[in-house]
Amino acid sequence: MTDPIPAETGAQQRFPEAITVTQLNEYVKRLIDSSAPLANVYVKGEISNFKNHYGTGHYYFSLKDDGAVIAAVMFRSSAVRMPFVPENGMKVVVHGRVSAFVRDGKYQLYADTMEPDGVGALYVAFEQLKRRLAAEGLFDTARKKTLPKVPTRIGIITSATGAAVRDMIRVAGRRFPYAKLTLYPALVQGPDAPAQLIAGVEYFNRTRSADVIILGRGGGSMEDLWAFNDEGLARAVAASAIPIISAVGHETDFTICDFAADCRAPTPSAAAELALPDNVELRRKINNLIGREAAVLLQSIARRRETLARLASARPLQRPQNVLDDRRMQVSALAERLGVGEEHRIALARARLEKLAGKMDALNPLSVLARGFGAVYAADGTILKSARAVRVGDKVTFRLSDGEADASVLAVRPDLSDTAKPG
């Protein structure tokens, strides 16, 4: 080798110029690091094997084309400045330096910046955030709120000195001068703008001082409008309990806020047109409504007058005494029918009562005694049913129809043909 490389101490005499692997890799690294073109190089290719090391924040990936591949790394200090996250298959142009990694014996690209090949980095970041928030459902139509038909309080979040606020004030004065406009001044450009725009959304939601919010600014480049692509602002807009109209830039400009808002207007002036009803048109609708309601009311009054006239011409109202006489006759006839019916029911009841009284009289024991029969009771008061129940000398009592008589038994003559046992 022409370039002197110190041999390993204690190397075998047989190979006095042998070096270690580490020495070889270090030599190659020095060669590469000393090359000026490799210290400031732009490399374009397609990203593959991308890995975002979340523990350290470093990006590890490969760049490839149709014929070759090179390993690359972007350390966290450079990665945090990236407006987008690299993805596999993305074609990019990477700036950095080439160096060797002694331990693995391979060279790689140490990247410090990266740009998409063909489109801007901001556009890539916009599309990535848009896809991610859409996948979360943040842009779903079902979650969007309906704008009030006649709002009387409009909250405006924009620059206090821009043309956008003047345009909205002018449109509001023309369309609906009865509405109260409240301006929350905020930066609409630069790194501090998203925080102020979010504060405006939170203010109107906290104070409930607006029926609808207009969030926007005039036109500009994508860089100028970038504050409205902030993820935190998009989430604040989506979470707002008050409907929000996003009016950022011109008609062809779209921001993340446009997708998160409940309604998008192409310009701030158009936002005021959407938020407020047309005073002239509203008056016309109100007059039409009053006219229709008056016609319905007049028709209702006419129908009731016809009904009243028909009732007034009816016989009861024309000759009420005749109606009363007819009713008296009906009452008298009903009373007569009621009296006859009651007499008939009383006669039937009396006949049933007499029949039942006859039956009861026939069963009365006193009635039997009245026909010449009597009842004999022993001294203890029990009725005697058999001659065998007494003895000569027993005291007995005779119960007749008109009284009682006491007696003594002089003789007992049982009927020999009676086989019944004494009671």
E strand spans, 161-315 = 180-185, 212-217, 244-248, 263-264
214-257 pLDDT tens trace:
999 988 888 888 999 999 999 999 999 999 999 998 777 789 99
Residue 362: both structure tokens together: 């026939």
Categorize the per-residue pLDDT at 115 as very low, low, confident or very high, splitting at 50, 70 and 90. Answer: confident
Q: How far is CA 389 from the centre of its chain?
A: 100
Query: Residue 383 gets which letter from DSSP?
Result: B
Categorize the per-residue pLDDT at 83 as very low, low, confident or very high, splitting at 50, 70 and 90. Answer: confident
Residue bearing the bigger pLDDT, 375 or 70: 70
Mean pLDDT across 182-195: 94
At residue 210, the pLDDT reads: 96
**236 vs 260: CA distance, rounded Å:** 9
Query: Residue 226 gets which letter from DSSP?
Result: G
At residue 323, the pLDDT reads: 72
- Which percentage of the chain shows pLDDT scores above 70? 90
Averaged pLDDT of the chain: 85
Task: Give 232-237 contacts, CB < 8 A, sequence gap 24+.
Answer: 232/194, 232/195, 232/198, 233/194, 233/197, 233/198, 233/201, 233/257, 234/129, 234/133, 234/138, 234/259, 234/260, 235/138, 235/260, 236/198, 236/201, 236/202, 237/201, 237/261
Q: Is the pLDDT of residue 423 over 50?
A: no
For helices 193-207 and 231-239, the axis angle rounded to 10 degrees is 10
Distances (CA, A) of 35 to 23, 41, 259: 19, 11, 49
| CA nearest to 255, candidates 223, 279, 293, 300 | 223
279-334 pLDDT tens trace:
787 778 788 888 888 889 989 998 998 888 887 777 776 677 777 877 788 888 88
Categorize the per-residue pLDDT at 364 as very low, low, confident or very high, splitting at 50, 70 and 90. Answer: low
Q: Is the pLDDT of residue 169 over 80?
A: yes
At residue 365, the pLDDT reads: 64
Q: Is the pLDDT of residue 272 over 70?
A: yes
E strand spans, 256-367 = 263-264
Q: Is the pLDDT of residue 12 over 60?
A: no
Residue 124: both structure tokens together: 């890539």
CB-CB neighbours of 141 under 10 Å:
6
Query: Residue 42 gets which letter from DSSP?
Result: E
CB-CB neighbours of 264 under 10 Å:
20
Instruction: Give start and end residues of each alpha helix (H) in 105-213.
Output: 121-135, 163-175, 193-207
